Amino acid sequence: MKRLLLLLDSDPMPNAYDIIVGYDGGADHIVSYGGITPGNVGPLIDGAVFTRGPSEKKLTAMFIGGANMAAGEELLAAVTKRFFGNFRVSVMLDSNGSNTTAAAGVAQIAKAVPLANKKVVVLSGTGPVGLRAAALFAKEGAQVTLTSRDKQRAAAACQLIQARFGVSPIPLAAVDNDARGATIRGADIVFAAGGIGVKLLEERHWRDERTIELIADCNAQPPLGVGGIDATDKGNTRQQKLVFGALGIGGLKLKLHRACVVQLFQVQIKCWTLKRFTPWLKP
C-alpha cells in the first residue's frame, strides 16, 4: 500500500517546494490541489478518511500549505473539524514553510544564545515565517517586538499570535530601512523575516549597535534581507555579532520538513503544529 500525501494549498497553484520535499520525506505519491478553502475541502477529507482500514490509515496524510498563514489555520481547523472517531489522518500545517523555517531558525539561535528576557525584534514579522518566529521567541521568554510597514498590520499580527499562542509581542510600525534601523536600537537579537528579495536593513544600521549579539535573516534571494550578512552564514561572527543567513537556517529547515513528513506516515498525528515539534528541537 502506497504512502499518499494530499497537498492542500490555499494558493491557486500548489507549491513545488512542498511537493518535492514531500517526496524526499518518503511519500510514494503526492496528490496536490490548489485553491483549497474551508468551503471546498470537505470531499477531499472524506476521500482520505474513508478509503483505508484503521491499520493502513497512517499511510495517508495531509499537508496544508500556501502563502497565507490565516488561510492555512482556517483550513487546518476545517480539516480537523471534519474528522470523527477513527476517521482521521495525520495533518501537517506549514504555510510558506512557516513552522519549519521559524522552528529551525529559533532553535539554532536558542542554541547559540539564551533567549529568556532577551529583547528580540522580528523585522517584517507579518508574514507566515515572522508570525511563527515571534511566537516561538516569546514562548522562550524573550521580549518580542514585531515590525511592519503598517501599524495596523503589525497590531493585527500580534493579535493573531496572542489568540493562537497566548503570548503578546509588541507591534511597531517601521516604514523603511532607516525606520527599521531605529527599531533595533537596544535590541539583543534581530530576526529578519521580510519578503523574498527585499532588503530590510543595511549593514550600517546594525554594525555599531553594541547591544545586538545576534542577527538572523531568512531571505535567501538577493538582495538579502540584511546587508553585511552572507546567506550561508551559520553562527559566524561579523562585526562582533553572531550571524545566520537564510541558507544557514535553511539546512535544518529542510531536514526538519523532511523529518516531519516521515513521521506523518509513521504515527497518526492528529494535528502537527508548532507545539508538537518545538520541544523536539530544543537544544
Ligand X SMILES: NC(=O)c1ccc[n+]([C@@H]2O[C@H](COP(=O)([O-])OP(=O)(O)OC[C@H]3O[C@@H](n4cnc5c(N)ncnc54)[C@H](OP(=O)(O)O)[C@@H]3O)[C@@H](O)[C@H]2O)c1
For 91-122, give one letter per residue: b (16+ CB within 10 A) or e: bbbbbbbbbbbbbbbbbbbbebeebeebbbbb
Exactly one of 14, 72, 128, 181 binds ligand X (CB under 6 A); which one?
Answer: 128
Exactly one of 48, 138, 190, 218 binds ligand X (CB under 6 A); which one?
Answer: 218
Q: Kindly tell me which of 25 and 130 has the beta carbon lying closer to ligand X.
A: 130
Annotate each residue in 144-163 with x if it binds ligand X (CB under 6 A) or - if it does not, as one string.
----xxx--x----------
Treating both helix axes as pointing N-terminal to C-terminal, what angle do 98-112 and 246-264 enclose, rounded to 10 degrees? 120
72 belongs to the binding site for ligand X (CB under 6 A): no
Question: CA–CA separation, 114 vs 184, rounded Å?
Answer: 18
34 belongs to the binding site for ligand X (CB under 6 A): no
The site that binds ligand X (CB under 6 A) totals a number of residues, namely: 25
Annotate each residue in 88-127 with x if it binds ligand X (CB under 6 A) or - if it does not, as one string.
--------xx---x----------------------x-xx
Q: Which residue has the cell 513552522?
A: 99
Tell me how far CA of residue 147 lies from CA of 68, 153, 173, 200, 263, in angstroms.
18, 9, 6, 11, 34
183 belongs to the binding site for ligand X (CB under 6 A): no
246 belongs to the binding site for ligand X (CB under 6 A): yes
In the complex, the smallest distance separating the C-beta of residue 59 from ligand X, rounded to whole angstroms, is 28
- Burial (CB count within 10 angstroms: exposed 0-12, middle 13-18, buried 19+), residue 213: middle
Exactly one of 14, 25, 72, 130 binds ligand X (CB under 6 A); which one?
Answer: 130
